[in-house]
Amino acid sequence: MKMNRIVCVLAILHVISSHDPHAFVQTSLAASDYASALTKLLLYFEGQRSGKLPPNQRVKWRGDSALKDGSDVGIDLSGGYYDAGDNVKFGFPMAFTITMLSWSTLEFRAKLKAKGELGNTLNAIRWGTDYFIKAHSEPHVLYGQVGDGDSDHACWMRPEDMTTPRGSYRIDDQNPGSDLAAETAAAFAAASIAFGPSDQAYSAKLLVHAKQLFDFASNHQGLYQSSIPSAGGFYASSGFQDELVWAAAWLYHATDDKSYLDFLQNSGNSGGVKTQLSWDDKYVGAQVLVAKLLLGGKVASGVLYSYKNDAEQFICNCIQKGNNNVRKTPGGLLWFQEWNNLQYTGTAAFIAAVYAQYLTSKHASIQCPGGIVQPPDLAALVQSQADYILGANPKNVSYLVGYGTSFPQKIHHRGSSIVSTRNDQSPVSCKDGFQQWYNRDAPNPNLLVGAIVGGPDNQDGYNDDRSNYQSNEAATVNISPFVGVLASLA
């Protein structure tokens, strides 16, 4: 704590004395308040809730919604999370969101607790896992989506009074989806570890679901969008081997059952050096989980070392000491792609944060092509990315809604941009939503605090424009890795 203050003071003195062109980085560094940013992130998940809201709901502009989800198939599928600025419940990215929230919790549990956010984080996980328990209605049946992207996107409606179709879509033995089933298995397994210390019974229940879904995923193989074509235009999976090894790695961490380790060893493919960790590609996550086992001395095997090597080469590329470095904007942001870039910055920073922790506990380092990387180097990368997102950037904009003095006011989000049902009960129709609210050149009436938008372009440029869903929409997958990132810094 004291060290940090001294560093900050020195940074400010340096700015005053040198007229450094990167002065904005250092002044804002001194100003970043990771703990308050973390608090905001956890509010975001309350803003995205579907279903009946609990009495302790803190985001008051939201109301109950989609209470009849699942009624078309005769089961209760209410609950869970809306994916982004729309009102579809896409199971594939939702499961990845819960896996990353759970991973954040188990790596940074003490810090979350110290900041008073452990309970909120576990509540955010449980809102997802309670839904997944309903969606996993039989050992080999999993509902992977409620609502439809095309018909939902054709309207601009609040979740509380939407009239768009709420069809329920599933996978089963005849219509498999190994990626969806395995990602949901990973979410259940990771969450079972997260709940272990506080709720043994719930933790054990989650693990049963994880094991059943892994069995389903590995024994009935296929891409889930073949079984749920409605997901294909929005969250098509590019393959399912990554989810299978990721789920196996989580199940091994959760159970110590050697059969999951055998699966990793026998898969014959550690994935290679990847360019990103995302809702579609989990290899980096699996590689890092295996590296943790190796660094911890829990396992030792030649095959498994290729996972660790792949993970470390990815990290080398992020820290600009690799053979294929990740691009950076002139302002220093890790840059992956135009559409929703910050989701990839977030997962990369998360990986650097957890790896720094593993290396520190083993007094280890990474030998990158460009030189040795030590834990403080990784911590500096994590901090630089968090600071950029919190406002230390050429635009002086915080990309976290509700944080700092300047942040996005017109995010691409139906609920945020339309008057709250608390203030106006009269229905907003499919078309009125566009005419009266979407096209309005005014700030959104409801702040979706904690949303991290897609972010700036590759030259640090950014306009606060509601119609630009590439840069001004937040998805649940953007936020969950940042819970770990900010907890690591707080």
Ligand X SMILES: *[C@@H]1O[C@H](CO)[C@@H](O)[C@H](O)[C@H]1NC(C)=O
Q: Which residues are catalytic?
A: 86, 412, 464, 473
Reading the block at residue 88, the tokens are 């579809």
* Ordered alpha helix ranges (H), 1-90: 2-18, 23-31, 34-47
To ligand X, the closest distance from the beta carbon of 394 in angstroms equals: 6
* Ordered alpha helix ranges (H), 296-401: 302-318, 342-362, 375-389
Reading the block at residue 103, the tokens are 């991973």
Buried b (16+ CB within 10 A) or exposed e, 104-126: bbbbbbebbeebebbebbbebbb
To ligand X, the closest distance from the beta carbon of 380 in angstroms equals: 21
∠ CA 483-489-490, rounded to 5°: 80
Smaller CB distance to ligand X: residue 395 or 440? 395
How many angstroms separate the CA atoms of 91 and 145, rounded?
Answer: 5
Smaller CB distance to ligand X: residue 260 or 462? 462
Smaller CB distance to ligand X: residue 27 or 129? 27
To ligand X, the closest distance from the beta carbon of 382 in angstroms equals: 23
* Ordered alpha helix ranges (H), 256-341: 258-266, 283-295, 302-318
To ligand X, the closest distance from the beta carbon of 352 in angstroms equals: 26
State the residue for tokens 């059943």.
Answer: 212
Reading the block at residue 416, the tokens are 């945020």
Smaller CB distance to ligand X: residue 71 or 396? 396
Interacting residues toward ligand X by CB under 6 A: 24, 395-396
Are the C-beta atoms of 47 and 59 separated by less than 8 Å? yes
312 phi and psi angles, rounded to 5 deg: -70, -35
SS3 365: coil
Smaller CB distance to ligand X: residue 391 or 415? 391
Smaller CB distance to ligand X: residue 113 or 395? 395
State the residue for tokens 């929005």.
Answer: 234
Reading the block at residue 12, the tokens are 């400010």
To ligand X, the closest distance from the beta carbon of 412 in angstroms equals: 23
To ligand X, the closest distance from the beta carbon of 329 in angstroms equals: 14
How many angstroms separate the CA atoms of 100 and 121, rounded?
Answer: 11
Q: How many CB atoms lie within 10 A of CB 222?
A: 17
Smaller CB distance to ligand X: residue 9 or 16? 16
Long-range contacts for 170-173 (Cβ within 8 Å, ≥24 apart)?
170/73, 170/141, 170/142, 170/143, 170/144, 170/227, 170/228, 171/141, 171/142, 171/144, 171/224, 171/227, 171/228, 172/138, 172/140, 172/141, 172/142, 172/227, 173/140, 173/216, 173/220
How many angstroms separate the CA atoms of 147 and 384, rounded?
Answer: 38
SS3 458: coil
Which residue lies nearest ligand X, judged by its C-beta? 396
To ligand X, the closest distance from the beta carbon of 387 in angstroms equals: 13
Smaller CB distance to ligand X: residue 163 or 396? 396
To ligand X, the closest distance from the beta carbon of 12 in angstroms equals: 12
